[in-house]
Structure 1
Amino acid sequence: MSVRLRRIYEPPEPDDGLRVLVDRLWPRGLAKDAARVDEWPKALTPSTELRRWYHAGEGGYEEFRRRYEAELGAPEAAALLDGLRDSARGGPVTLLTASKAPGKSHAHVLLDLLRS
């Protein structure tokens, strides 16, 4: 299974495979045709409330991760996560995020869950 995480502002690469935007909001300053996004499953992204809570600095990454994993247990999100796992079994999947710190973001939580 090949899953990786990249910033969406990096140019697409031939070995990206399925390119999945995992942010709720479209990245600023990026044209949709230039991004080459294949899927944008918004139900896989953190809720607006959780995203605002985390970015306001009200809690640490581990608490954010716990809350986000709980949100991913919802039926629609769980089904989308299973679909991404299936896609990754068939070829490379690249998770795309605009986050400046992907290693401490929801995208990294998804990456870990897909690799486990």
Structure 2
Amino acid sequence: MTTVRARRVYEAPDAADGRRVLVDRLWPRGLAKAAAHIDEWLKAIAPSDELRVWYGHDPAKFGEFRRRYGDELRDPERAAALAHLRELAAAGPVTLLTATRDLEHSQAADLAERLQRPT
């Protein structure tokens, strides 16, 4: 079973994290790169600026955000990034990191769910 989970980048690393991948386009505010404990920063998987601004982290829009983000994940660059995440997950635990306060309604949570599904 693939182990993929989403966590806030500001939380202390956990022994069960496995490979820690930042999935935000922008570097988290106030977080020093040396203190981040990030194995990889995969900017290519992040939602477009247009989608991010439209969504505005409004939980009422999350269903439509997921649909639109799914469409964006078909873009060749994002599709390659998603395939890379699948490869990482096949090799061991992966933790998708985001700076978003509302983790449940974030692209990291959406990606974790997508990666848990069989392909």
1:8-53 superposed Cα distances (whole Å, 9 cap, x missing partner): 1111122211100011111111101101111111110000111011
Per the TM alignment, residue 102 of structure 1 is displaced from its structure 2 partner at its CA by: 0.9
Could you tell me which residue of structure 1 aligns to residue 100 of structure 2?
99
Could you tell me which residue of structure 1 aligns to residue 25 of structure 2?
24
Per the TM alignment, residue 56 of structure 1 is displaced from its structure 2 partner at its CA by: 7.6
Q: Structure 2 regions of 5+ residues with no counterpart? A: none
Q: How does 1:55-74 map to 2 (within 5 A)?
A: 55=56, 60-74=61-75
TM-score (norm 2): 0.91
1:34-92 superposed Cα distances (whole Å, 9 cap, x missing partner): 011111111100001110111185x7111111111100011111111111111111111
Q: 2: distance between equivalents of 1:46 and 1:25?
A: 11
Task: Provide the alpha-carbon RMSD of the alignment.
Answer: 1.4
Helix, strand or coil at the partner of 2:40: coil
Helix, strand or coil at the partner of 1:9: coil
Q: 2: distance between equivalents of 1:19 and 1:96?
A: 7
Does 2:14 align with 1:13?
A: yes
TM-score (norm 1): 0.93
Q: 2: distance between equivalents of 1:56 and 1:109?
A: 13
Where has structure 1 moved over 3 Å in runs of 4 or more?
A: none
Q: 2: distance between equivalents of 1:25 and 1:102?
A: 16
Q: 1: distance between equivalents of 2:19 and 2:57?
A: 32
Q: Would you say the 8 A contact 2:57–2:105 is kept in 1?
A: no
Q: 2: distance between equivalents of 1:112 and 1:72?
A: 14
Does 2:6 align with 1:2?
A: no
